[in-house]
Chain A
Amino acid sequence: MGAKLDRAASGTANYVDERTSIGGFVKFFARKIFPDHWSFMLGEIALYSFIILLLSGVFLTAFYVPSMTEVHYEGPFATMHGVEMTEAFASTLKTSFEVPGGLLIRQIHHWSALLFIAAILVHMCRVFFTGAFRKPRELNWLVGFTLFVLGLAAGFTGYSLPDDVLSGNGLRIIDGIIKGVPLIGTYTSYWLFGGEYPGVDIIPRLFTAHILLVPGLILALIALHLFLVFLHKHTQYPGGGRSHRNVVGLPLFPVYTAKAGGFFFVVFGIVALVASVFTINPVWNYGPYDPSPVSAGTQPDWYILFVDGLLRMWPGWLFGLPTEWELWGYTLSLNIILPAVIVPALFFGIIALYPWIEAWATGDRGEKHVLDRPRNVPVRTGIGVAFIVFYVLLVIEGSNDIVANLFHLSLNDITIFMQWAIFLLPPLAFWITKRICLGLQRKDRELVLHGHETGTIVRYEHGEYVEVHEPLDAQETWLRVSYENYTPLEIEPERNDHGVARNGYRWDRFKQRLSRFYFEERIEPVTPAELEAARHHHGGASAHGKSDAAEAESADKRLDAEWNELDGDAKK
């Protein structure tokens, strides 16, 4: 039986290989080494939630009707009887109530969409703070960034499809933002909606974007993203035996096939659990789209909140001056395009280009495969935290009505606070983070030079008290001394010996300034010489200290014994 099976398997393998030469592939892939770390799973979560989105999405398309044709509801849900609605909304109700398991799949789809974008963001943070975007991975950072933007697009187009009151209002806000764009705004709105808002075209158009254009692009870019991961081989955290020239870890088959494969089921399982217990987007409570009603406390999906926060924060009147201008009879709505278009574009632009910005500052052109510990790049870590604070403030402002309700605060006060905080807190966060990083680096130096505190205090004969320090082992030391120690760039002078100005000086000077900003203040790693000197100094003391400690301990015991004896005597 076993032999038969073997023969069948090898026969199949032979058949396929003779037609595809897949053998070489398998040999190349099967035992590829991947480093192990929990933070490498964040990207996997994003990938898996996308697969869940595809699976559940296919199910939903079987019942959803992307049409704005009017119908009167005649389904089983009594509250909606006879209500005029679009087929899109009616079919969403049908999926929820009349298809067994349909509501579950809707909720799985929605929850995994939220998870998808959250996972991408957290994964991006991991990549950012560990410097995994450095050469040769800059392009893959850009691919990942584009995936994030596409994720937002997928989320937004999908959110609008049920055509309920909430999503309709969301669309109307988008329409208002588009109209605010100078020159082309009104025409772009007409182009998108096929005439005046809301028209009858927008749902079918969004549907095509949501199920074909956007996911097609996402799929292609995911393939590229993973291809590049394989090509570059995964980065690894610093540690003994690891370098920029190797990769230390476990083989794809069987270890990661089992771990990563298993992890897909875990993610799916958890999404299923959340979706079966927590209702999300109960459109039957909102009702079909109607341009008139809206209620307070209605929120867009979380990933849109930051734009909403910007829109809420930007005042129409600033110190008595309008932020919407009328110039030569044309209207320029700075209160719309700045918060909804320009600031997000700048924010995203800096994120997209960050790998190059940092490369200008370091001037380093080597390949980097060992990750940074965030503390060892204080300025980058500070920038990252400042960006996170900026983003989180916007998200909070985007839900300021909920915050106000929760904490019984005045809505206007929150907004006014945020208007200041958005300028003050991110720089403060940058400064604090940088200080903390430098402090941690200093502590690392201390540790390497003087060892761990053991908590044992000894007293020398001459009366001095010293704590015994245990020197770090080779692994612990290596972790703390092996980091890139960049110094600010030095550049060639503006004029050569003949006093002729050279080309490119300004660019160089810019890079130098940038470099100073990054590396002026830094903690140098312990050098072997320093380490040697410290060990020498401590070496004696610590060996000495150890015997001292033993002595002190026995003395302690003796004292204890004596005390007990005395105590016993007293009791008698």
Chain B
Amino acid sequence: MLFSKAYVRKTKRGSVIKVLKEHYLRDDIYCGVPGCQRCPEHTTTLSAEPRQTTAVRSPHYIVPDTNILYHQIDVMEHAAFVDVIVLQTVLEELRHRSLPVYNRVRALTAEPARRFFVFCNEHHRETFVQREPEETPNDRNDRGKPFNRRRPIRRAVEWYSAHIDSKRAVVLITDDRANRAKAKDAGITALSLRQYVESLSGFPELVDMVAAVGGDDDDDMDASAADKKFVYPEHLSPTQISAGLKSGAFHQGVLNISAHNFLEGSSMIRVNNEEVIVQIIGRENLNRGVQGDVVALQILPKSEWRSGVSTVLEEEVVEKDDLEEPTTDAATVDKTLDKALQEPATEQELKPTARIVGIIKRNWRPFCGTIDASSVHAGSTSTQMQSVFFWALDKRIPKIRIRTRQAQSLLGKRIVVAIDAWTKNSRYPAGHYVRTLGEVGDRATETEVLLLEHDVPFAPFSPLVLSFLPEEGEAWVVRDDLHLANREDFRSWDVCSIDPPGCTDIDDALHARLLPNGNYSVGVHIADVSHFVKTDNAMDLEARRRGTTVYLVDKRIDMLPGLLGTNLCSLRSNVDRLAFSCLWEITPDAEVVSTRFTKSVIRSKASLTYDEAQARLDDPKMTDSVSMSIKALNMLAKKLRARRMAAGALTLASPEVRFRMENDSQDPVDVELKELKDTNALVEEFMLLANIYVARKIYECFPECSMLRRHPKPPATNFEDLGKALEPFGVKIDASTSRTLSDSLDAAVDPNDPYFNKLVRIMTTRCMMQAVYFCSGTLAEPDFWHYGLATDIYTHFTSPIRRYADLVVHRLLAASIGYDKTYSSELTDKAKVKEMSDVLNYRNRMAQQASRSSVELYTNLFFKGKTVVEEAYVIRILKNGCSLLIPKYGVESFVYAAPVPNQPPLLALHPTMNALTGAGPDGEVVIKLFDKVRVQVTVEEAGVAAAQRSKLVLRLVEPNVPGMCPVVETSTARPLGGAATTPARTTRPAKKPKRK
């Protein structure tokens, strides 16, 4: 039954090498159609009685081609599509083109209820089609699209038509017209996806979801006539781009659109082996590049370079009146805008600019957002197809044109939209509707949006994952007969935990005990999560995928199922728990004499909050063993900390806030800044100590594959701007080592303003690099340095319940001490560890951003219906405005003057100083960096009528610059007017300047 078909092909991988592969053809691959007369009985997911539609009268199965699955995966994922035959040819092509799409198709084929059947046509004796000599999977045609292998697909459909009985049919779905014609010649029924979807009854939304690009099908591409007037420069072909990249004429970079100006992008490129940031300014230079795309850039001549100071420009403001199809006016507005943005800088330092000549790889993802209400034709009936605009929540994404039949019902909803294409004669990208999430402003919907936007996996744990939990469930207990092997019994020790109030996932506990020799025995006990989560089972894989627990203001997205996180692993008081202990003998001078690691069983004597622990610390009368233990720990922590500070560890700051919620409605009623107590520092100190010692241990045993954490030294250029801004205050920032930086931060004090030092620390934090996980075998030892903590090696060991990296480190440590002798090969695979660190770094970044967005969401909720006047500090000067930080709420936003054609700007950059000037009622007003100003804070909501992005709006109150200051709303000013800016509701009497 084995047939061999060996063939030769070339692949290109640096050098040309000849790859010889065997290809076996088989007779034992079956069609998957139930009740087939020609095949023996076999398992299949297809149903015996598939559906019939108006287009295809007989019951039929569907065979999509590669482009359909690639471009229209959203449609194929819709529950309406069942009884689909996926060909192996298609799957292989998909994997070459896009792994994420391939994985989505695989998820469909793995789900029996969806009835997607994979037919291995490439290995079937009768359907195998020899590749044509010039046709290899890596080949691309002149339009940069990979070949769609049509012949084998048609051959397979032909075979099916002949193979199955006459009562049922097989339909080829392809958007390639030529392919359809050829299929008709061969007697195969072939339809485009749109044709097929329109013949389906009961799924009106499906038509909306069909992507606007359908391969060669151009009948859907009727972009409006006005649109055609707008022409972007042509993108270069992949061959031209790669030639240009090789010759050095072009540079490759990832496009990053500025968060405060949709027409300003930047990209990090390598020129002569040096990393350079180039700016890409204006619609024409951006040339259809979208945030995150990998683009080919051409550096512009020096005469077009400009200063690094940027302008604030918000798309919804600029394009507000541009709701109808863009007119020729729009083009002129664009020109003026582009010109205004590109105004040659004065004597300030010039920074290179570039233009996009081609796109190397699009990085489009589905976007959450809302329909622009004013783009919906009011009078239209609900089912009429129309073009509407979509605003993505992410400000860096341009508005997207979608075609929909349900425009009216989508108003005021959060929906998901995917971009399909951006042709050169279309001003905006074209996309399609994917699904509806819920009402705008609904808290559950907004939270889901936030999680989707940050790619946080938040679905409930699957039954498969949960099946790996201990069978006993809540009733699980430490059993001496089962769990004590190779574990030390510390249950009699005075261990306690100190955490924030309301903490349910306690992953660390501590103890300290005076030894007879005058030294202290100190232990850090960490929840033994690796005991419950075994390598590579479904629960482990899910935790690895999540990477970290994500903390939002109102909820927590756990990395591990709750039973483990908040119960079995959580080191609660007065129950036996498994732990991984790190034990030291420490002298009263806080010198470590010896270190030991062991798996253990502990019984925490008390779960304290920071305040409770602080109370025990402060009360000299408390002499019970736990209190004495805390006192000893505190004494040692202070000495350890002093030593760490002397070595140059940094104390940085971030304006973190906490919301006080109203209990029943979960509405934020107050905002407070998080503050630190002695006990916080105590716990932190010992966690650092444990992490450092564990890092040394695992690195000693596994020098090639340890998962460590490093914090690179920030390049001196990061501090240039800050240094310049601080010059007038007589403060110098020296970042050459963390030691000098720490000293300069301590010296940065303004006797008149106690907040000044904090502000400098906040700004310094932003100049820092991100700390990252890495695999020890991939870097030289000096690069292991952790700049912020001033330590030569570091890792994460102390929070395995909420961080996957810690779990990996636990496994490494268990292997290092010989506890786990049968560890998996994956643990010591350098490439795997590197890959895993990259994923974890990404997940951590996303989790952080999600938390920040959540705070932002609640800040907006907090300010809803309020108008507050607050003190703010200028933390960044831009061309037409400045960025402000309000310490009281930890809020940061912009105050800026929108550019108005033919009028001098209300706020302008001072020609020589890094400051803004404006005309005040009593002469010129100058706003410098670190100036204290007063602003009015309101929230502008994304509502049903003005369906845009919800945002905080700041208006300058002091200094008074007419035109920049709050005005009493008139009825014509804004349709939504409403409570948002009613002065009567200000919480503090504000000095309201009248408009002159």
Q: Do A and B form a real pair? A: no
